[in-house]
Amino acid sequence: MKILSVIGARPQFIKAAPLSKELRKKFKEVLVHTGQHYDYGMSPIFFQELSIPQPDYNLGVGSGSHAQQTGQMIASLEKVLEKEKPNMVLVYGDTNSTIAAALVAAKLPIPIAHVESGLRSFNRDMPEEINRVVTDHLSQLLFCPTETAAENLRQEGITRGIHNVGDVMYDALIFYKKLAEQKSEILKNLILKPKSYLFATIHRAENTDKEAKVENIFQAFGESAEVIILPIHPRTKKMLKQFKIKTPRNVRIIEPLGYLDSLQLQSNAKKVLTDSGGIQKEAYLLKVPCITLRNETEWVETVKDGWNVLVGSDKSKIIKAINDSRPRKNQSKHYGYGSSSKKITNIIEEYLRNNA
């Protein structure tokens, strides 16, 4: 049996690392990289550090408008799927690579497995929300990371193929955290002591593309008394230049990080500031309080448990959250037990056996 997995952006490489290992124990896996992320620090570093098998195809699509990028992926993926004729196409998360692969597979038709299914921000201004909703409604196997995600799908009328398998990023975190502790030299290189700094990331278009929002966020950072380490996404770098925003002195901008350095910096931070989805959850699992620079989150459990607070780009809310030193509550196993990759592989095997 042949599974064709499609990846293209940073978080998808991290999710593919543990799952690809498991899938290859039972199936032939063909790995396709769309080329959505391509810089060394955005793509190749993840394949090296996480020992992800080299992709069988790299479509080299690169950046562009949503329609251009997604359209090019669709055209190229169709050729690959027609040639490879897989028994199932596996897609991850909510990027343009995800929706492109799902659309092509659905029309051939080839069954689709969606990893990280059912997440919702209920904000259709986010391109990711459109990508998720469409992909979920085209998929035969919907692998949800949480019970909230599974319930979201039921609310949308999906009745078949929903499986709460826990979060595959938790599998990755458990495996690579030990490696990060052994191998990462990022604290030494940046001359940082544990718990002496905040770790920040900003990349969402809803923040980076609005001058007032970027300005508010950086002003809030500048008015805090903390050292803030900010690995910069290429789009954020471009927009800071375009808006002529000066970096405050307490903010240290560094190049994008690989997964091991990122885990190491996060787990030793006093707090995390982010608009990423994956990092909110990583912070929770690493027991580091998180401040989310958005008005809604798909990872509602992190907020309910008191480990995450939504502040949008509101300057006073950001500063208040940075200074808040309330103790955090106990955590629950919302994201499973780190055995998601095994569960997904077994469910796919059973599905293919029954639908051969």
Active site residues: 203
Which residues are paired to 272 by β-bridges? Answer: 199, 290
312: left (phi over 0), alpha (psi -120 to 50) or beta: left
Site size for ligand UD1, by CB under 6 A?
17
The C-alpha atoms of residue 153 and residue 319 are separated, in whole angstroms, by 36
- Asked if 116 is part of the footprint of ligand UD1 (rule: CB under 6 A), the reply reads no
Annotate each residue in 225-264 with x if it binds ligand UD1 (CB under 6 A) or - if it does not, as one string. ---------xx-----------------------------
- Asked if 177 is part of the footprint of ligand UD1 (rule: CB under 6 A), the reply reads no
The C-alpha atoms of residue 25 and residue 341 are separated, in whole angstroms, by 11
- Asked if 275 is part of the footprint of ligand UD1 (rule: CB under 6 A), the reply reads no
Nearer to ligand UD1, 290 or 322 (CB): 290
Among the listed ranges 36-44, 150-158, 244-252, 306-314, the one in contact with ligand UD1 (CB under 6 A) is: 36-44
Query: Are the C-beta atoms of residues 315 and 293 closer than 8 Å to each other?
Result: no
- Asked if 207 is part of the footprint of ligand UD1 (rule: CB under 6 A), the reply reads no
The dihedrals phi and psi of 278, each to the nearest 5 degrees, come to: -60, -40
Which residues are paired to 58 by β-bridges? Answer: 33
Q: Among residues 127, 222, 248, 336, which is the contact residue for ligand UD1, using CB under 6 A?
A: 127
- Asked if 132 is part of the footprint of ligand UD1 (rule: CB under 6 A), the reply reads no
Q: Among residues 3, 7, 11, 14, which is the contact residue for ligand UD1, using CB under 6 A?
A: 11
- Asked if 210 is part of the footprint of ligand UD1 (rule: CB under 6 A), the reply reads no
Among the listed ranges 92-100, 132-140, 183-191, 316-324, the one in contact with ligand UD1 (CB under 6 A) is: 92-100
Query: Are the C-beta atoms of residues 95 and 69 closer than 8 Å to each other?
Result: no
Nearer to ligand UD1, 76 or 224 (CB): 76
Nearer to ligand UD1, 121 or 345 (CB): 121
- Edge-to-edge strand order for the sheet containing 28-33? 57-58, 28-33, 2-7, 88-92, 112-115, 141-144, 162-164
Among the listed ranges 4-12, 17-25, 182-190, 312-320, the one in contact with ligand UD1 (CB under 6 A) is: 4-12
Q: Among residues 15, 33, 37, 120, which is the contact residue for ligand UD1, using CB under 6 A?
A: 37
Q: Among residues 10, 120, 177, 294, which is the contact residue for ligand UD1, using CB under 6 A?
A: 10
Among the listed ranges 32-40, 140-148, 181-189, 280-288, the one in contact with ligand UD1 (CB under 6 A) is: 32-40
Among the listed ranges 31-39, 111-119, 132-140, 221-229, the one in contact with ligand UD1 (CB under 6 A) is: 31-39
The C-alpha atoms of residue 211 and residue 217 are separated, in whole angstroms, by 10
Q: By CB under 6 A, name the binding residues for ligand UD1.
A: 9-11, 36-39, 42, 63, 94-96, 127-128, 203, 234-235
